[in-house]
Amino acid sequence: MRIEANKSVSAKYDLYVDGENQGELELMERATEERPLSFIYGVGMMLPKFEENLYGLQSGDSFEFTINDEDAYGPYDEEAVIDLDKKIFEVDGKIDENVVFEGNVVPLMDTDGNRFNAQIVTVTDQIVTVDLNHPLAGQNLHFKGQVLEVREASEAELAALMNNSCSCGGNCSSDEGCSCDSDGCEDPNCTCNK
């Protein structure tokens, strides 16, 4: 069976990004046979160029390709590094230092209620500087791996994806939709499956 729309795919891979020295690659992420990447092809779960490079492959096929930053997470945007008043991170008048520290990724919400993640760059007495860029923005992505399994996606898997997807990519059982974060869905009537 070949990879095409609505097929369930499992793959192992190593993801490399360009290193500091020209021609050098740095391992960024690994999906193993024991913990593979699993997704439904063609439903928007993966980068379009990632799927394009896997199209037509079958179980056992190896792959190796590069996705340029423009086709991955875009170029790094210096203007997406912003200063926020430290007070917005207070809970009950206090800063939780187990959450607000350099390097940590924190969930934020804009004035329209959209949720997104930001990495904390620096923390001072009054300002928290955050980076809103995707962690892989500005990086060329080099994938090397193997397709482990290609099978028909079950009706339940497809129905769950087609019905009320959460913004986090999970699935929502509420008719009104929902918004999810790393802890799951904020709506108690919504089940977010990751």
Domains of the chain, earliest start first? 7-73+138-154 (3.10.50.40), 78-131 (2.40.10.330), 163-194 (no CATH)
Both structure tokens of 114: 């959209």
C-alpha R_g of the chain: 19
CA–CA dist 155, 163 (Å, integer): 12
pLDDT band, residue 81 (cuts 50/70/90): very high
pLDDT in tens, 91-141: 898 998 999 999 999 999 888 988 989 999 999 999 999 999 999 999 999
pLDDT in tens, 138-172: 999 999 999 999 999 999 888 888 764 444 444 34
State yes or no: pLDDT of 82 exceeds 80. yes
